[in-house]
A and B are shown apart, each in its own frame.
Chain A
Amino acid sequence: MELLHKIDFKDLKAPLFIAWQINSECNLGCLHCCEEAGHSMPDEMNKEEIFNVLEQIVDLKIPYVALSGGEPLLHPNFFEICEFLKDKTSIKVETNGEFIDERIAKKIANLKFRSVQISLDGATPFTHERLRLGGNWEKAVMACKLLIKEGVNTEIVFVPTKFNIQEIGQLIDMAYSLGVYGVYTGKIMRIGRAAQNWRMLCPSEQEYENFFAILNEKIKQYDGKMKIYYYPYDVIEELKYRLEYPAASLLIIPNGKVKLIGPLPFICGDLKKQKLIDVWENYKIGWQNPKVREFAKKVIEQPKLLAESNKWVEL
């Protein structure tokens, strides 16, 4: 018997990972927001529908769930959702950190998350807040401090743009001094508001070259001390790869629809009406659908079409 890495997602009885955008409401208006978050969608899942999905996640032994949004901490049932999943699956929460005070940090610590990821898009307030409209850098940094004090595995996510890309080294040093578990980054995705603001935001090739060089240096510098991870591919390269090797994961959006993958507009199921296990089967078939493959190939040739990713198409 052998311990192997190779896995074909079609052999799995259920997904291994669920990325769940539980809401669309957000207190910020980030210029790069891939979800175009701000206001709630009119048809978001209600509490009963959410708990129906949660029960299925537990029954199917889905090992890993990421809760995101919008701003997930604004969801009225956020803590009940986490309480339900506690000890049954690994939970990661993606947040802008602005609602984490001492009391909330303590509450989060009790939930034993795999991690909390705080978005920090700059080493200085000016840079962070220039991209994250309405955002407050001090609050995001304070959230990291409070969570770390409570023993929560805390990670920082940084999205490079023309505004902040030069601060990556400084940000990593700061992350280390805060005591975070890891720093995650990768190229900005040309979807949602980032697609609309692309010319203003997209770093040049030279800027990316310097960025990755600094990252490689920092990885060496902090080896064994802090995890630094970057995803080296852009969204087009990711799409090419996923056409061959789809991920063993589902992406649930706030209204219960399930997307094939973030950058494509295709919906392979509706959890308000269908069982998770059936949506998983649709997902497997969805990747073979000629409509999907043809559109994906068009997107690969014309990345501008990524701007269509939030205009859903039901399969």
Chain B
Amino acid sequence: MSQLASITLMQNDDARPVIDSIIADNPGVKILTMPGAIKLDCEGKITVNRASVEERLGRPWNLQELHLVLISMAGNLDEDDDYFTLSWRH
């Protein structure tokens, strides 16, 4: 059975570079847009990479700034300085 790892973000200017980097870094990502929100789903695992967001943002970015635009998520969380991963794999 399918096990989607998922992250839902606000649809605003702060979140845009995060959304773009998730789409670029997670091949096969499925996108559900709702008014004000975007839900990104990926089979098994989904990751936000700090470097990838910084590249788009053009400034240093603390991964915990993700808290400001995060709406929801699914999966077991692994958070470090450089990545934020949700996954159902062990």
Do chains A and B stick together as partners?
no
Which residues of A does B touch, CB under 8 Å? none
